[in-house]
Amino acid sequence: KVALLIEMNAKPGKEAEVEAFLAKEASLVAGEPGTLTWHAAKIEGETGVYRVFDTFVDEAARDAHLNGPAGQEFFDKAGELFSESKMSRLQVVAHK
């Protein structure tokens, strides 16, 4: 299986907008059959620091996610909401 890890820092004062945006992203991802898991989290004790971790059945599903509504909306909104963001493509080596 393959995964994505997206590390994001919200622009100052945009935390509530980021959290609303991530909730909307979750509803978009719910319709993706190849997305196995999708988690958005806020780092405890660090204002405006977020992570998204998602897993996919295969590379085609990951590409479909990135090119689908959720991925495109992320790329469209990133400059407005985040001071920085980084996406890493991962290979899952173990899971429960």
Which tokens belong to 3? Answer: 């995964």
Residue ranges covered by each domain of the chain: 2-91
Is 78:30 a contact under the CB 8 Å cutoff?
no
Quick one: what percent of the chain has pLDDT higher than 90? 97
- How does pLDDT run across 60-71, given as a tens digit for each residue? 999 999 999 999
pLDDT, position 63: 97
Domain 2-91 fold = Alpha-Beta Plaits (3.30.70)
Provide the pLDDT for residue 4: 98
pLDDT tens digit sequence for 48-62: 999 999 999 999 999
- Average pLDDT of 35-51? 97
> CA 10, CA 16: separation in Å to the nearest integer?
9
Is-contact 9 48, C-beta < 8 A? yes
Q: What pLDDT is recorded for position 30?
A: 93
How much is the mean pLDDT over the chain? 96
- Side-chain-facing half-sphere of 11: CA atoms under 13 Å: 9
Judged by DSSP in three states, 76 sits in: helix
Distances (CA, A) of 1 to 13, 73, 80, 87, 93: 36, 24, 32, 17, 8
- Return the H-helix or E-strand segment holding 66: helix 59-67
